[in-house]
Structure 1
Amino acid sequence: MKKLAILASGSGSNAENIANYFKGKGIAEITLILSNNPNAYVLERAKKLGIPSFVFTKKEMNETEALLDAIKKSGAEWIILAGFLLKVPQNLLEAFDGKIVNIHPALLPKFGGKGMYGERVHQAVIESGETESGITIHYVNEHYDEGAIIFQAKCPVLKEDTADDVATKVHALEYEYFPKVIEELLLNDK
C-alpha cells in the first residue's frame, strides 16, 4: 500500500475526498495532512478522518528541513497538493522527484501561475470569454503550474455563467477525477 501526504492551504474538500476514496481499498493510505495555514479547515477535516496533521510556516518550509522531515517521518512516498497555495521548495522536489502531484482549477497552460487560484482563476476564465474550463492534474516542478500535464477534464462555460457557476462545475470534475488519477499513478508506480 502506497503512503501519501497531502498539502492543503484551505478548506480541504479535495483532501477529504481523496481520503474517503482510498479508505478500505488497500491501495493508498493518507499518512499526514499538512498545511501552511493554522486556521485552515483542512486541519479539522484531518482530525475527523483520524489522519495526523502538521502545521508549518512559510519560513519553516523554505529555510529548514521541518516540512521534509515531517513528511519523511510519516512514511509518505507521494505528495499530493490539494489546494496548496505556496511554491514547493527545492528540497521536496529533490526528495520526491516525479512523485509530487497538483490539481489546478483550469486548463493549463491558461490561467496558471503565481496568484492564480480559486475564485481568481474562475473570474479570469469568465472575463476572458472562454467557452470551456476544467481541471489539470500535473506533476510539480520548480515553477507554478508548469509541470508535465498528467490529465485534463473539461466543462462548458456558458455566456450566463458566473465565476461561482464555473467553480461548481470545476469542483465536480475535481471530486470525480483527482482520486482516480492518483490511483492510476500509484498502481503504475512499481
Structure 2
Amino acid sequence: MKKNIAIFASGSGTNAENIIRYFKENDLVRVSLVLSNKSDAPVLIRAQGLQVPVAVFSKDAWQTGKDILTLLRHHQIDFIVLAGFLLRVPEVLLHAYPNKIINIHPALLPNYGGKGMYGDRVHEAVVAAGEKQSGITIHYINEHYDEGSIIFQAQCEVLPQDSPTEVAQKVHALEYKYYPHVIEEVLLR
C-alpha cells in the first residue's frame, strides 16, 4: 500500500519539487499534498505544476492545528516532511504523527540551530565563525526547534574564501542529493 506524504513549505520550494519528482514514479510512496502558510509562496506553483494538490492555511489554523489535521486525514497522509518551513509544529500534529514528521536543517546540528536559525542566517553564521565544515541534518521534529532526534547528517567543506552564498550552494547540493533518499529509507523501514 502506498505511503502518502505531505510537504510543508514556506518558500521557493526547490527541495519540495526535488522530493515530488523523486517519488513521481515510485510504487510505494507518493507526495499527496503540499501545504504552506504563505499564499504567495512559489512552492505552491511548483507543486501544482507537478499535479500535486496544495493548501494554504492561516496563522490561526496553524496554531490550533485541528483543521490542518482534518485535511491531512482527508488526504490519508502517513508522513510529514518539512522543506523550508519555518513555523514550530503545534502539539496536536506532533501527537497525531509521532516520529512521522521530519525536517532538514542547513547545518550540522546541534550547531547553528534553534529559533531564527534558518536559510542564509545559518550560512552567514557558519562563515562568520570560521567553520571548516557545514552540511545538512535530517531530524525528527519535537516541540523545540531543531532538537529532535537526528536521522542523518552529511558534510561539506567550507573553504576560508567561501562566501555565505557559496556555502549555501554546497549545502543545497547535499539537500537535493540526500533528502529524498532519507525520506524513502525512513518510510520503508
> How far apart, CA to CA, are the structure 2 residues paired with 1:67 and 1:124?
34
Q: How far did 1:64 drift?
A: 4.8
Partners of 2:113 and 2:58 in 1: how far apart? 24
Please give the TM-score of this superposition, normalised by the length of structure 2. 0.98
Corresponding position of 1:159? 160
Judge which range, 54-63 or 124-133, deviates more. Answer: 54-63
8 Å CA contact 1:27–1:183 kept in 2: the answer is: no
For 2:42, the equivalent position in structure 1 comes to 41
1:27 deviates by 2.0
Unaligned residue ranges in structure 2 (runs of 5+): none
Q: How does 1:128-167 map to 2 (within 5 A)?
A: 128-167=129-168
- The structural deviation recorded for 1:86 is 0.2
**1:29 matches 2:30:** yes
Hey, what's the Cα distance between the residues in 2 that align with 1:54 and 1:96? 19
Q: Secondary structure at the match of 2:45?
A: helix
Provide the C-alpha distance between the structure 1 equivalents of 2:92 and 2:187, rounded to a whole number of angstroms. 22
Please report the RMSD computed on the Cα atoms of aligned residues, expressed in angstroms. 0.7
Identity score, percent: 57
Query: What is the one-letter code of the residue matched to 1:54?
Result: A
Kept in 1, the 8 Å contact 2:64–2:90? The answer is no
Paired position in structure 2 for 1:179: 180
Equivalence for 2:89: 88
The Cα offsets for residues 139-185 of structure 1, whole Å up to 9 and x where unpaired, read as 00000000000000000000000000000000000000000000101
**Take 1:164 and 1:92, find their aligned partners in 2: how far apart are those partners?**
34
Distance in 2, matches of 1:109 and 1:22, equals 29
Structure 1 position 37, deviation (Å): 0.8
5+ long unaligned stretches in structure 1: none
TM-score w.r.t. the length of structure 1 is: 0.97
